[in-house]
Amino acid sequence: MQNTLKKSENIETVVNAKKLLDFIRLAKKANKGERLQTIHFKRLFGLLQVVVANRTIQVLQEFTVTPGGEGKNCTVEMRVLEAMLKTYKKESINLTWNNSVLTIISEKGNINTIANQVDVIFFPQVIDLDTLVKYPIDGLSFLKGLEMSGYVVEEESPRNYGTVLCFDNSKDNYSTLVGTDGYRLAFSKFDKIVDMPNICLSKKAIDAIAYGFAGDLEFYLDSSNTTAFFVQGDIRLSVRLSNVNYPKYERVIPACLMVITVNRMELLNFVERALLFSDKSKAVKFKIDNNILYVGELKTDQRIKLSHSVKPREFSLNGKFVTDCLKTYKNETITIGFAQNNDAPVSFILGENRTVIVPIQENK
């Protein structure tokens, strides 16, 4: 077995109960939809590693502790530990374990025990960051691009590549995050990341990163390019990459020959109202005429005056696709681009480096 402690040998570690509880909550969010059974503890020199893992996602936090008991592991039922930690609030707690039990002693002297399952449950492998390849990404821009491009990715899609987000590094001057659900396409551009391979992140990985991080972060890949590691302070998230052949998405990006700029919230309100009167197809009609954009069937009051002269045009879009886009983007105005062909997809240009492509939809 992995743990060779005798039952009489105890490993003692002092941590903050609230910080440990916050980690459990983070791990549950990052593993949304997964049944997490156990939480693992491992002592290193001056560090306690706490790990929650499933088949594709591992969340780890390191706590600074007094040296001692290096290499000794403990695995307990996470649900039971979480319930106990909620009673300790912000207290420091002493975690003491041997091969049989984990004992929790609070500052007030309260004692609880949980069975140590280290001999019956495999301890997850923790990779040393020094063995990985680090890539210099702008963490804040990456997280924003993840939000803007990843929202279209679905757990289930009519096409296999629609369940993943592609990090395309094949261009000479920039890198791109590309997401699709098999219908709409969203992409965000970044400064070029030199020598980084193309990778694909699953919907679960996208959600885990979004839940786990809110600021700048570091990015690593293993030598086989099968696992990505995201690090922020003492929190580490590793996700297994998807092995999907992403399509040549550039082929569906239309050349915008005409653009209009409108107030985002005004358009959002009009489309949401039009959806109330739409059928199951969720199609919403749009019409540009006499420099006015009409939204939905109610032309009299759902109109937006345009700032410049454009050619007349009529088209329909999936209203939910449009509202999803408008809710994700937070700026005051939004630019909409049109190709020469009336049947070509419509581009919602979300700032200089982000675009969502929405296909024209026929009314049913």
Task: Read off the CATH number of the domain in which 319 is found.
Answer: 3.10.150.10
Distance CA 178, CA 201 (A): 10
Rounded (10°) CA dihedral 72, 77, 83, 84: -30
Q: Is 294 exposed, middle or buried (0-12, 13-18, 19+ CB in 10 A)?
A: buried
Domain count along the chain = 3
Task: Choose the final residue of a domain: 223, 250, 277.
Answer: 250
Distance CA 82, CA 305 (A): 56
Q: Give the pLDDT confidence score for residue 10 in this predicted structure.
A: 65
* 348 and 279 in a common domain: yes
Has residue 2 been placed in a domain? no
* 149 and 232 in a common domain: yes
* 142 and 220 in a common domain: yes
Q: Give the pLDDT confidence score for residue 257 in this predicted structure.
A: 82
Distance CA 140, CA 162 (A): 25
Question: Shortest CA distance to 213 belongs to which of 232, 240, 227?
Answer: 232
Has residue 363 been placed in a domain? no
Q: Give the pLDDT confidence score for residue 296 in this predicted structure.
A: 86
* 28 and 55 in a common domain: yes
* 293 and 223 in a common domain: no
* 184 and 135 in a common domain: yes
Distance CA 102, CA 100 (A): 7
Cα atoms in the 13 Å half-sphere on the side-chain side of 160: 7
Q: Give the pLDDT confidence score for residue 221 in this predicted structure.
A: 93
Has residue 293 been placed in a domain? yes
User: Can you list the residues of the chain whose pLDDT is less than 70?
Assistant: 1-12, 33-34, 36, 68-71, 120-123, 298-300, 362-364
Has residue 122 been placed in a domain? no
Has residue 121 been placed in a domain? no
Q: Give the pLDDT confidence score for residue 254 in this predicted structure.
A: 85
* pTM across the whole model: 0.83
Has residue 186 been placed in a domain? yes
Q: Give the pLDDT confidence score for residue 9 in this predicted structure.
A: 58
Has residue 6 been placed in a domain? no
Q: Give the pLDDT confidence score for residue 214 in this predicted structure.
A: 76
Q: Give the pLDDT confidence score for residue 265 in this predicted structure.
A: 93
Q: Give the pLDDT confidence score for residue 363 in this predicted structure.
A: 52
> pLDDT for 30-45, tens place per residue?
877 667 688 898 888 8
Q: Which parts of 61-214 fold into alpha helices (H)?
A: 78-85, 139-150, 203-212
* 219 and 183 in a common domain: yes
Task: Choose the final residue of a domain: 250, 280, 295.
Answer: 250
Q: Which domain holds residue 92?
A: 11-115
> pLDDT for 190-211, tens place per residue?
888 888 888 888 888 888 888 7
C-alpha distances in Å from residue 129, one per residue of 134, 231, 269: 9, 10, 48
Cα atoms in the 13 Å half-sphere on the side-chain side of 32: 13
